[in-house]
Structure 1
Amino acid sequence: MFVGFDYGSANCAIGVMEESGVRLLPLAAGSNYLTSTLYALDRELIAEAVYQQMPTALKADYAKARAGQLTRARNARRELDLEPNEQAVFVGERAVNAYLEMPEEGFYVRSPKSFLGATGLRTEQIALFEDIVTMMMLYIKQQAESLEGLNSKGAITHAVIGRPVNFQGIGGEESNQQAETILRLAAKRAGFTDVDFLFEPLAAGMDFEASLTEDKIVLVVDVGGGTTDCSVVKMGPSHMESKERSQDFLGHSGQRVGGNDLDIALSMKAFMSHLGLGCHMTNGLPVPSKPFWNAVAVNDISAQRDFSSLNSRKTIEELIKEAKRPELLKRLLKVQKEQLGYRIVRSAEQVKISLSDTDTVTTNLDYVCPNLDAEVTQALFKEAIELPSAKIEALMKQALEMAGVMPDVIYVTGGTARSPAIYDRIAAMHPETPIVVGDHFGSVTAGLTRWAQKVFA
């Protein structure tokens, strides 16, 4: 059985082909999307959870590769006084809820896909991300196979998995290969016997192509949670049946800039002044901005490691002694001690979503300080996201310059493109060109599923 698998930075989704077309499968209560998060009471327990749930035939090789982690997992389970079968690793909204309940006690990762192409990862870090991705794929695959109507069709064995044009802005093809290798290995350990990959903007465009009645040159702009990808593609009735589409791909670009970057930028602009950013020391110098950035840079491994360190805590404690507004810096210290950075970014994400429908949002930050509210306007949001917005514009220009043609239509998709601020920037680039807005969340999965049918059926 084959599927289209969107392992996204913000959400994951999986689709199957039925007589009526593509069907996205429910992965969470009332939703076809699973939030891309994982929480473990201890990071060593992730390997244990993978071992317990992976196909029996693969366990021996995995146990050999993860012998050290599995031993440490047994020790961690004893130290945490957990029962042998007590769940210790959670994914999706259950992971978010576990983190919000115990932010300082466990291991939480949001948008693990954002890290897969990171440069300078050590061997043990790559192994950790392999396990995180495997754990999430195992969960999603098991959820899909258990659904009524599918459980009689046997195991899901084949998948087309989406990937961005570039997983990282730096690192080039080496980063892309590292990320794709992690995804391929994780899929194998999760029980997929054969996988193929397809650029996400092309997948999104293929779903749109199914609706075309005449050939068009389409600029696909896919602004996702972790990356933005643009592709210029020949589409239409004379192209859609071909299994070899490389000649139709005229130009593409991609970079790790997306909804996560908007959330981080908004956190800095809207929230960090309430924690002391912009204040001054008694000697007249401004408070250093680095601790504030590290607190919310949830897609930067080194920044998160730095912020959680004892040295960072000592630095903030010293700043409190010398600050003109020490009461504000004490809030930053609480964020450091209780590891609340992810929660702050989550608040920014919720504000961003709310600003799609209103001009002003007031959000409560009482988990940082009682009765602390922050007001965010559309104007402030646009100012905060100026840099990532400019990067998205540059990617559109790059794809069109590579293609050497102008598009007949611009097809916009991806969850982040729901933001009016982002849509307006895209529309202003070529005001004379028609814009079609696709299913912001489901178009990539639908396209992957259609391609899986061509590749595996």
Structure 2
Amino acid sequence: MEAKSFCGLDFGTSNSTVAVPGRDGVELAPLEGGSRTLPSSIFFDFANGAPVFGRAAIDAYVQGVDGRLMRSLKSVLGTALMDETTRIKTKTYSFKDIIGLIVARLKRAADEASGRDVTQVVLGRPVHFVDDDPAADRRAQDALEEIARAQGFTEIAFQYEPIAAALAYEQKVRREEYALIADIGGGTSDFSVVRVSPEGRARADRASDVLASKGVHIGGTDIDRLFSMKSVMPLLGLGGDMRLPFSDKAISVPNGFFVDLATWHRINLLYTPKVARDLAELARYALAPERIARLAEVIESRRGHSVALAVEDAKIALSSAGAATIDLSEVESGLSVAVSEETLHGAIVDQLGALSRTLQETLAASGLSGERIDAVFLTGGSTAIPAVRAAVTGLTPQATIVEGDMFGAVGLGLGLDAARKFGSDNAMRAA
């Protein structure tokens, strides 16, 4: 295939991919060493101010390099945080600036893989960036488009992420099928019912084949937050009581600190002198001051992301084992908490119900019963969680469960869509 100046770009909450034209069709570009995925992470090294990305960013943080780690920044799109700034040493960045650095890193990879300046892009987007707020949802897409344009993309289109995953799945089907695409990503969960077929691969306009598409703002970062609140934050004071000054009345310790500490993109907001003063005051009145002292130590030593990584590691371990341990020895020597599938299930039971309801709504909108679905195509890292998988597949008893590339299917589908939108006739046939 002749190199073209287009790509499909999946800027994900947890992981990102880029698809470009290759010798045998559209393919995922290498992003970090031999890997074709890049964790959507950025680390600013305080020694030189230079940002590093992906696994290198996480490794720098884990190794104790003096700097600041930021993850899950896609969750900021469409929120008030987009207008806020953060100071990195002597330089002030907006969240839009920081997302722009990650998008620029992905564009460089597309340029290198294509051997030319890539100016045309299909960007993935969830069905809803923000639930039940069309204006905020539009602002989120507009912000992502503005960021992409600032990094050198001149022709920009968008495609729903579950539709992109359907295009990737369709490359392997041998007959017409009704496929339910379940994309459970880091920030959102999206469902689409799509008619796929070998003949459909040649059609540029697929609107009539998309029978329904719905989404809900529940993803891996929400699961991490709720799991952390259930298992770890009580060790740092969540759920405890405090005495009001000059009163014998006891009230619950405020939970705002814990919510921020359990939420990837809000952790850095705790690293301020005001929060340190507030925690010192809280410890004076808490009935379990030693737990608040732990919380203060996590924040003072900037170990928030270490705690979040430990929670995430345990969540991943529970995808293949019934029990795991969250190691908090960096917080306090010997500190840990045992967790199980039941712990995780209990933390996210309301979210599982919301996923099931959204899936029911998607099927109803498609006009098909669950029994009519031929295949359920799973993509997104959170589909590995047994409870999530059960919620997603429970309404389609006759369907074949198809394991997609957890982190690459959406990016590949965006590349296929980019070939149809921007490629030559030959490119489209090859895709």
For the criterion TM > 0.5, the same-fold answer is: yes
Q: Give the 3 Å change call, closer, same or farther, for CA 363–249 of structure 1 in structure 2.
A: same
Matched, 1:168 2:130: yes
The answer for the alignment partner of 1:197 in structure 2 is 158
The answer for the alignment partner of 2:383 in structure 1 is 417
The answer for the alignment partner of 1:376 in structure 2 is 339
1:232 to 171, 174, 193: 193
Report if aligned partners of 2:376, 2:402 keep a CA contact under 8 Å in 1: yes
Report if aligned partners of 2:179, 2:374 keep a CA contact under 8 Å in 1: yes
For residue 141 of structure 1, give the secondary structure of its aligned residue in structure 2: helix
1:114 to 75, 79, 97: 75
* Aligned equivalents of 1:114, 1:439: Cα separation in 2: 22
The structure carrying a bigger strand percent of its residues is: 2
When structure 1 is superposed on structure 2, of 107-116 and 276-285 the one drifting more is 276-285
When structure 1 is superposed on structure 2, of 289-298 and 218-227 the one drifting more is 289-298
Following TM superposition, by how much is the alpha carbon of 1:101 offset from its aligned partner in structure 2, in angstroms? Answer: 5.1
Matched, 1:187 2:191: no
Amino acid at match of 1:331: R
TM-score by length of 2: 0.86
Matched, 1:336 2:299: yes
When structure 1 is superposed on structure 2, of 199-208 and 366-375 the one drifting more is 366-375
- How is 1:275-424 mapped onto 2 (pairs within 5 angstroms)? 275-281=236-242, 284-299=250-265, 305=269, 307-406=270-369, 407-424=373-390
The answer for the alignment partner of 2:171 in structure 1 is 210
Report if aligned partners of 2:20, 2:110 keep a CA contact under 8 Å in 1: no
Following TM superposition, by how much is the alpha carbon of 1:194 offset from its aligned partner in structure 2, in angstroms? Answer: 1.7
When structure 1 is superposed on structure 2, of 400-409 and 267-276 the one drifting more is 400-409
* Aligned equivalents of 1:236, 1:195: Cα separation in 2: 27
Counting aligned pairs with the same residue, the percent is: 30
Q: Give the 3 Å change call, closer, same or farther, for CA 323–130 of structure 1 in structure 2.
A: closer
For residue 69 of structure 2, give the secondary structure of its aligned residue in structure 1: strand
When structure 1 is superposed on structure 2, of 438-447 and 246-255 the one drifting more is 246-255
Following TM superposition, by how much is the alpha carbon of 1:170 offset from its aligned partner in structure 2, in angstroms? Answer: 4.2
User: What is the CA deviation profile of residues 327-357 of structure 1, one whole-angstrom value per residue up to 9, with x for unaligned ones?
Assistant: 1211011122233333222211111111112
TM-score by length of 1: 0.82
When structure 1 is superposed on structure 2, of 310-319 and 178-187 the one drifting more is 310-319
Following TM superposition, by how much is the alpha carbon of 1:289 offset from its aligned partner in structure 2, in angstroms? Answer: 2.7
Following TM superposition, by how much is the alpha carbon of 1:41 offset from its aligned partner in structure 2, in angstroms? Answer: 5.0
1:14 to 12, 18, 35: 18
Following TM superposition, by how much is the alpha carbon of 1:107 offset from its aligned partner in structure 2, in angstroms? Answer: 4.3
Amino acid at match of 1:39: F
For residue 198 of structure 1, give the secondary structure of its aligned residue in structure 2: strand
Following TM superposition, by how much is the alpha carbon of 1:94 offset from its aligned partner in structure 2, in angstroms? Answer: 2.6
Aligned residues: 406
Q: Give the 3 Å change call, closer, same or farther, for CA 185–384 of structure 1 in structure 2.
A: same
Following TM superposition, by how much is the alpha carbon of 1:19 offset from its aligned partner in structure 2, in angstroms? Answer: 4.3
Matched, 1:449 2:415: yes
Aligned-residue RMSD, C-alpha: 2.5
Report if aligned partners of 1:119, 1:171 keep a CA contact under 8 Å in 2: no
* Aligned equivalents of 2:304, 2:353: Cα separation in 1: 25
* Aligned equivalents of 1:403, 1:272: Cα separation in 2: 41
Report if aligned partners of 2:379, 2:405 keep a CA contact under 8 Å in 1: yes
2:202 to 217, 230, 241: 241
